[in-house]
Amino acid sequence: MRVPIIGLFLLIMSVQLLSAQTKKSAVASQHSEQEIIDLSKTKWQWMADRQTDSLDALFNEKAVFVHMGGTMNKEQEMGTIKSGGIQYKHAEILETSVRFIENTAILLNRIRLTAIVGGNEVINPFQVTEVYVWQGDKWSLGSLSFTRLLSQ
């Protein structure tokens, strides 16, 4: 009698574990790395073109933006883009990778960013971390962090 009970218990636990793993990977399996890469490229273009309506829809209300000069919230980042405080002219994407963790996508870009800052054109190599969260029926950018690289 004891063996069937243990076997039944193990079967139930296996089904629960399989169900939990299926739920965890559901968002990742519905979305591809290419979808996130394309969204990131579109975001760079929107930033270059100062398409603030599109960026406003993409940026999460609680998003954080980390630059060499400090950290901003969504309102501050949008204000900087609108005012031209930073003009993102072109992001040359050199290397990209994407990882999914449940309903979150983490994209790493190694880029050469051409921007106008304080009226001066500057070109800097960055490792950029973009964190996207799947909310409802769309991706929302939760974090954008720039780390300046010492070499190109």
Chunked into runs of 10 residues, the chain (152 residues) has average pLDDT values of: 56 56 51 94 97 97 93 96 93 97 97 94 96 96 96 70
The answer on 65 and 128 residing in a single domain is yes
Q: Which domain holds residue 3?
A: 1-29
pLDDT at 31: 75
The answer on 52 and 8 residing in a single domain is no
Number of domains in the chain: 2
pLDDT at 90: 96
pTM assigned to the model: 0.79
pLDDT at 122: 94
pLDDT at 68: 82
The answer on 38 and 1 residing in a single domain is no
The answer on 144 and 94 residing in a single domain is yes
pLDDT at 22: 46
Say which CATH number the domain at 111 has: 3.10.450.50
Cβ-based neighbours of 149, under 8 Å, separated by 6 or more:
110, 125, 126, 127
Which amino acid type is present at position 95? E
pLDDT at 24: 44
- Residue among 70, 79, 66 nearest 142 (CA): 66
The answer on 65 and 4 residing in a single domain is no
